[in-house]
Amino acid sequence: MRVWINPTDVGRHHTTNDDKREQICRDIDNNGFDWQVWAVAASGFFTDSYNLFATNVILPCLAFVYWPDDNSGREGKINIITLVGSCLGQLIFGFLADRYGRRKLYGFELIVVIFGTLGVAQSSAGYNDSMSILSWMMFWRFFVGVGIGAEYPLSAVITAEFAARQSRARMMAAVFIMQPIGQLMASLVGLIVLLTVGRAGGLHLMQDDDEAAKKIVDSIWRWVIGVGAIPALIAIGFRLTIPESPRYTLDVDQDGARALRDTEQYLRQPGASFPTADDDSSRPNGLAAVAPSGTAPTPPPPGRRRRIRRRLNIHHLPTHPNPFSYAELKRYFWTEGNYRTLAGTALTWFLLDLAFYGLGINNPRTIARLWSSKRVEVVEELIPSWANPADVGIGIYETLRLDGVRAIITDAAGSLVGSAVLIKAINYVPRRAWLVWSFAGMGVLFAVIGGSYFRAVDTDLHALVITLYVLVQLLFNLGPNTLTFILPAELFPTRYRATCHGISASLGKLGSIVVVAFLPSLHINDPHSRHLGYLLIAFAPLMGIGALVAWAWIPEVQGPRGSAAKGVDGGKERGRWVVSSLSLEELAVGLGGRGKLRGRLGRRRRNVEGGENGRV
């Protein structure tokens, strides 16, 4: 009996870490799109997105119940403290994930989110206002922010390190779509609670000064926040199903045997045999060896094994006993010049979040301003803190209902479509180039929407501003918002991957803190203000700077179009249009090894053009 086997699977008890790395990478690459890893990462990312954007839903409720006549900006303080916690969580957990491992922390951040969420839901002003509910809200939201921030580097690196090379970008984009889905669900849950708890209590029939109305609204926001703990509990269960990242175990812990064993157990690979076949050219990775029944297969000759290794893009990666020593940090980031890559990923995220949070997504009043079809003649100081200046005269029930509907249309819908399109297209576009061009496109769009704002707001043309606003959200997630999440998880070696992702994400959150703290001084929600238009125009050159930074400092993460495109997601996509991703091992060499990598890509391009792609 003749059995076709993969000759490089022979003797899975390899003697060197390079051999084990080769086997681990091949096993992972053969696994295609890993839905289990996706579920593990996506469930946590959804939880954090829901809890972050649920603030938009509850702020009018808090203002109605606890500070109806105070327009001093308490809502902004809650948002800022959440973002500060998120910034610290990204930095701290990113470093800890590289120092102590991914799995030891993966799930702990969700416990922090649950802890903070339940604390927020139980916040109280005490008997006869004996306590400050704002202080309690800020205290608990800080911890929620820490957990939300921690999720960014952990979800990104876990997904990247468990993903097959050609499925990596699509898996990470599919994880990031949980952000608009979480945003959508926060608004939907708010509407559902309003239409059930609110209507059951007769809120829609009550006057705004009725104490019974305050009691119902107080229960509504607690329901919305408390629901956020449920997906976190489910996500923790998912996270018990995966082992430590095999790349971390091998490259940082230097335990190749455990890394290979964990990979095989996770992927449930019983052995090295494959079904019979008639032609070795039909097998991936050069399956060609045959052996008589009952005899051990013959390993490939050394020369053939080296060629197979080159095809698999496996490199010899040196060991680093103490990657966080001063000498090693200086060598990698300064001597080899990789600080430029980190600056590129961090600055693009910073510039992105300046605009993303500057659009007022955390302020229902700003969204309501866009929907205004006529000029409102009212003094801002006379408007209750929970009401929208553009909707003067309506009660709390209708205010909450309109806030939810508008948030779904203006924010969530465009973002969701943009993420969905990118998931489908991401294997067909060069990610670096698309980041550059999408930043440039954002700049043009901001200039257009800013100019249109002055002509269309408070008129029957306000639908034009809303449409452009939706397009901005769509392009955000079709381009820089998703790509700034993906690229830091690809560009750095395993020993620094989570740290660099955390640094990049935290600088983004720093941008959001700056703009959220700055917005109140512009009075963009004033019924007579046109400052929002000027702000939108100001974002245009910032997006241009983002395009320049991406072009200058972010390296390529893909090969030439059509190169080594053996298949995507289990072989479902083939052809010359696929832009293949480089392996994490290739990208781990950093700028110091980029010259050799460019030479290898040049040879690969010539092979593709010469029709030699796929030959050994």
Domains of the chain: 30-246+344-558 (1.20.1250.20), 559-609 (no CATH)
CA distance 466 to 477: 17
CA distance 389 to 385: 9
| Structure confidence at residue 430 (pLDDT) | 95
Structure tokens that stand for 435 in this block: 């980041």
The per-residue pLDDT for range 153-182, each reduced to its tens digit, is 999 999 999 999 999 999 999 999 999 999
Report which of 358, 363, 359 is spatially closest to residue 53, judged by C-alpha positions: 363
**Coil, strand or helix at 565:** coil
| Structure confidence at residue 553 (pLDDT) | 96
The pLDDT confidence band at residue 73, using thresholds 50, 70 and 90, is confident
The per-residue pLDDT for range 437-450, each reduced to its tens digit, is 999 999 999 999 99
- Please, which residues have CB within 8 angstroms of residue 551's CB and are 6 or more apart in sequence? 436
Q: Is the pLDDT of residue 595 over 70?
A: no
What DSSP letter does each residue of 130-142 carry, written as one string? -S-HHHHHHHHHH
Number of Cβ within a 10 Å radius of residue 21: 25
Query: Please, are residues 75 and 63 in contact by the beta-carbon 8 Å criterion?
Result: yes
Q: Is the pLDDT of residue 399 over 60?
A: yes
Q: What is the percentage of the chain residues whose pLDDT exceeds 70? A: 81
Query: Please, are residues 384 and 396 in contact by the beta-carbon 8 Å criterion?
Result: no
99-159-21 Cα angle (round to 5): 70
* Secondary element (H or E) of residue 465: helix 462-478
Report the helix count and the strand count for the chain, using DSSP H and E: 25, 2
What is the pLDDT averaged over residues 65-94?
90
Q: What is the percentage of the chain residues whose pLDDT exceeds 90? A: 50
**Coil, strand or helix at 483:** helix
Q: Is the pLDDT of residue 267 over 80?
A: yes
Cα-to-chain-centroid distance, residue 78: 22
Report which of 74, 47, 346, 50 is spatially closest to residue 190, judged by C-alpha positions: 50
pTM for this prediction: 0.85
| Structure confidence at residue 574 (pLDDT) | 54
Pairing of strands 558-561, 579-581: antiparallel
| Structure confidence at residue 604 (pLDDT) | 53
| Structure confidence at residue 284 (pLDDT) | 36
Report which of 487, 466, 443 is spatially closest to residue 352, judged by C-alpha positions: 443
What DSSP letter does each residue of 375-398 carry, written as one string? -----GGGS-TTS-GGGTT--HHH
The per-residue pLDDT for range 191-245, each reduced to its tens digit, is 999 999 999 998 988 887 778 899 999 999 999 999 999 999 998 888 877 888 9
CA distance 34 to 55: 32
| Structure confidence at residue 607 (pLDDT) | 58
How far is the CA of 259 from the CAs of 176, 555, 588, in angstroms? 27, 29, 18
247-249-253 Cα angle (round to 5): 125
What is the pLDDT averaged over residues 404-415?
91
Torsion of CA 480, 485, 486, 491, to 10 degrees: 100
What is the pLDDT averaged over residues 419-437?
96
- Please, which residues have CB within 8 angstroms of residue 311's CB and are 6 or more apart in sequence? 285, 286, 564, 616
520, with CB counted inside 10 A (0-12, 13-18, 19+), is middle
Q: Per DSSP, what are the bridge partners of residue 289?
A: 5
For the chain, state the CA radius of gyration. Answer: 27
The pLDDT confidence band at residue 65, using thresholds 50, 70 and 90, is very high
The per-residue pLDDT for range 342-386, each reduced to its tens digit, is 999 999 999 999 999 988 655 787 888 788 777 766 656 667 778
Query: Please, are residues 49 and 183 in contact by the beta-carbon 8 Å criterion?
Result: yes
Tell me the torsion sign for CA atoms 520, 523, 526, 529.
negative
Cα-to-chain-centroid distance, residue 315: 28
The pLDDT confidence band at residue 504, using thresholds 50, 70 and 90, is very high
604, with CB counted inside 10 A (0-12, 13-18, 19+), is buried
CA distance 558 to 551: 15
Phi-psi domain of 559 (left: phi exceeds 0; alpha: psi -120 through 50; beta: other): beta
